[in-house]
Amino acid sequence: MPELPEVETMVRGLLSRVKGKQITDLWADEKKLIHHPSFRLFKESLIGQQITNIERRGKIIIFHLQPKGFWLAHPKMTGHFLFLESKPDDDFIKEKSVHLSLSFSDKTFLAWSDQRKFSRLEYWSVDDIAQIPWLRQLGLEPLKMSFAEFNQLIEGRRQRIKSWLMDQRFIVGVGNIYASEVLWLAQVNPERPAGDLSSNERKKIFQGLQKMFKKAIIKKGTSLLEYRDIEDQKGEYANYLQVYGRKGQPCPRCQGEIVRKMIGSRSTYYCPQCQP
């Protein structure tokens, strides 16, 4: 599932490729991906608009449209954009699991690929992003927050730290892969109650998260399964993962055996020896 570095990579690609473009047509074959408003209104609302900016909020991509409103794309499991110089044909649509395609006035195209079909696409006819109700429930951006803010959010929380890190109401953008990785970096057991962590442990997690995300953005994210950037290229951060997906392998730090455990119904990887 795309997390902060993957979505940030998508946004940077979109800024360089589709910012300023005029939407002239929209094709879609999967109505269930359109969550707001109706399928018909979504299509009608996008056609004729210009994309004036693209930004990321947590794991969500937000297109600013002119004259009105915002288009939101939430990749969930496998959603990602592909920028195309020519119109996607039937073979391409099938091979790349394309479920939506935009045509631009300069004869370029933007396709939305989503193999698992859990992604959410929405259009909101509002003047300000702040008027979109569920965006208001999102927590702070990890690369734009201070340790004091992090500390305040974690204080008194009884959730297990792994689940807390992934709870988008506190910090946004952390998913299953990077949560396991940052806890390994900080040498913290994923099942410990978040609020019980020492100041030093909290600092290690906070700083580790920022450092890891910055590096992962430079490497254009982690492509374990479906994720690709908008040029259909894999990210390289999978080469830097220390524990995720490495059950039974030796820990790179202490040579203990990496285990996989379900925490909050999500696969969690850690080293019980150096993350006691």
Question: Token pair of 247, please?
Answer: 């059950």
Tokens of 40: 């018909």
Interface of this chain with Zn ion, residues 90 to 109, rule: CB under 5 A? none
Nearer residue to Zn ion within complex by CB, 124 or 244: 244
Closer Cβ to Zn ion, 238 or 274, answer by number: 274
Where does this chain touch Zn ion (CB under 5 A) — which range of 20-28, 36-44, 226-234, 247-255? 247-255
Q: How far apart are CA 42 and CA 26, in angstroms?
A: 10
Q: Is 181 a catalytic residue?
A: no
Per CB under 5 A, does 252 bind Zn ion?
no
Q: How far apart are CA 17 and CA 141, in angstroms?
A: 25
| Minimum CB distance to Zn ion, residue 274 (Å) | 3
Active site includes 215?
no
Q: Is 274 in the site for Zn ion (CB under 5 A)?
A: yes
For residue 92, report the phi and psi dihedrals to the nearest 5 degrees.
-65, -45
- Size of residue set near Zn ion by CB under 5 A: 7
Considering the complex, what minimum distance in angstroms separates the CB of residue 271 from Zn ion? 3
CB of 239 to Zn ion, least distance (A): 19
Residue 273 is a binding residue for Zn ion (CB under 5 A): yes
Largest CA distance in the chain: 58
**Rule CB under 5 A: is residue 143 a binding residue for Zn ion?**
no
Q: How far is the CB of 249 from Zn ion (least distance, A)?
A: 11
The yes-or-no answer on residue 68 being catalytic is: no
Tokens of 202: 């909290």
Stretch that binds Zn ion, among 23-31, 78-86, 153-161, 243-251 (CB under 5 A): 243-251
Per-residue contact track with Zn ion, 253 to 272, x per CB under 5 A? xx-x--------------x-
Catalytic, out of 21, 59, 96, 160:
59
Within 8 A by CB and 6+ apart from 28, the residues are 34, 39, 43, 99, 100, 101
Q: Does 110 bind Zn ion (CB under 5 A)?
A: no
Q: How far is the CB of 93 from Zn ion (least distance, A)?
A: 45
Nearer to Zn ion, 75 or 190 (CB): 190
Comparing CA positions, the residue from 178, 140, 146, 151 lying closest to residue 162 is 178
User: Shortest distance, CB of residue 177 to Zn ion, whole angstroms?
Assistant: 18
Q: Closer to Zn ion by CB, 230 or 251: give it.
A: 251
Active site positions, annotated:
2-3, 59, 266
Interface residue list for Zn ion (CB under 5 A): 251, 253-254, 256, 271, 273-274
